[in-house]
Amino acid sequence: MLKELIHYCEISKDGELLGMTVPINKPIDWTSFDVVNKCRYATGFKKVGHAGTLDPFAEGVLILGFGRHTKLLNQYKNEDKIYRVDIKLGIETDTLDRTGRVLKSITVDTPPTVHDIQKQLQQFRGDITQIPPMYSAKKIRGETLYKLARAGKIIEREPIHVRIDAIDILRYSWPVLACRVRCSSGTYIRTLAADIGHVLGCGGYADTLVREQIGDVALNECYTIDEFIEEWKSINH
């Protein structure tokens, strides 16, 4: 449920707006930086940041900090997350999502059953390791991985430790497997999708991705960009 924008604002005793922390529903095909730029321009704040990048193909909860609240964003970066992901089985891409180049299409005579999938998902629950994808914003030795990947360079990446508290199957109709994932900060859902496809023997990638929650902040509490701008105008007319 949306709260009035004033709820997120810090106002000084003399009425000056010092900062605000606002949950935004990032739209598909926008980068997280696009959202920051749009909201910076709309509000006039010089300092605007976000708590945790969402891939352009993904949508959902993106927490923005304005003014002095940019210093408060770190507390959200380490919060647990909840995602909803549609995994397209039978195809592998270089980005591990639908935006990438198809590397392999795998013909499956007998698709895995829900029972097969449930059995394989057991190994992804709890403390696990992941190899960060090349198409990510992670930096290794000062170089951003996705920039190297776009230049055709693949480098060795050390595995990272993450925690997955739950993976629930929401629906399954070959070749699409829809899951809800509750996980620690730093978990790569695209990597999880590809790894699930790998253990099922058919490959897979993240076709759609929605971040439903960061900590206690849920998607139904998030403003669309247009809603946020209208609310901002209403308190600054």
Q: How many residues does the chain have?
A: 237
* Count of C-beta atoms within a 10 Å radius of residue 173: 8
Q: How confident is the model at residue 73 (pLDDT cuts 50, 70, 90)?
A: very high
Q: How high is the pLDDT of residue 138? A: 72
**Per DSSP, which regions of the chain are E strands?**
9-11, 17-26, 48-50, 59-67, 81-89, 91-93, 102-105, 126-130, 139-140, 143-144, 160-173, 176-183, 204-214, 217-218
In this model, does residue 143 exceed pLDDT 80?
no
pLDDT, mean of residues 166-186: 97
- Amino acid at site 204: G
Q: Which CATH architecture has domain 81-214?
A: 2-Layer Sandwich (3.30)
Query: Taking a C-beta distance cutoff of 8 angstroms, is the pair 179, 202 a contact?
Result: no
Rounded CA-CA distance 213/237 in Å is 32
In this model, does residue 16 exceed pLDDT 90?
no
Q: How high is the pLDDT of residue 174? A: 97
Q: Which residue, 90, 31, 22, is CA-closest to 58?
A: 31
Q: How high is the pLDDT of residue 158? A: 85
Q: Which residues are catalytic?
A: 55
**What are the φ/ψ torsions at residue 171 (nearest 5 degrees)?**
-165, 155
In this model, does residue 134 exceed pLDDT 90?
no
Tokens of 68: 């002095």
Sketch the domain layout of the chain as residue ranges: 5-78+217-235, 81-214
Q: How confident is the model at residue 38 (pLDDT cuts 50, 70, 90)?
A: very high
5-78+217-235 and 81-214, same CATH topology: yes
DSSP type of residue 223: B
Q: How high is the pLDDT of residue 156? A: 77
* Count of C-beta atoms within a 10 Å radius of residue 220: 12
Rounded CA-CA distance 11/61 in Å is 24
Average pLDDT, the chain: 93
Q: How confident is the model at residue 236 (pLDDT cuts 50, 70, 90)?
A: confident
- Amino acid at site 166: A
In this model, does residue 155 exceed pLDDT 90?
no
More confidently predicted of 107 and 150: 107
- What residues does 97 pair with on adjacent strands? 206
Q: How high is the pLDDT of residue 154? A: 76
CATH 3.40.640.10 assigned to domain 5-78+217-235? The reply is: no
According to DSSP H, which parts of 48-152 are helical?
74-77, 114-121, 145-150
In this model, does residue 153 exceed pLDDT 80?
no
In this model, does residue 237 exceed pLDDT 70?
no
Q: Which residue, 211, 177, 235, is CA-closest to 79?
A: 211
Query: Taking a C-beta distance cutoff of 8 angstroms, is the pair 194, 188 a contact?
Result: no
More confidently predicted of 156 and 94: 94
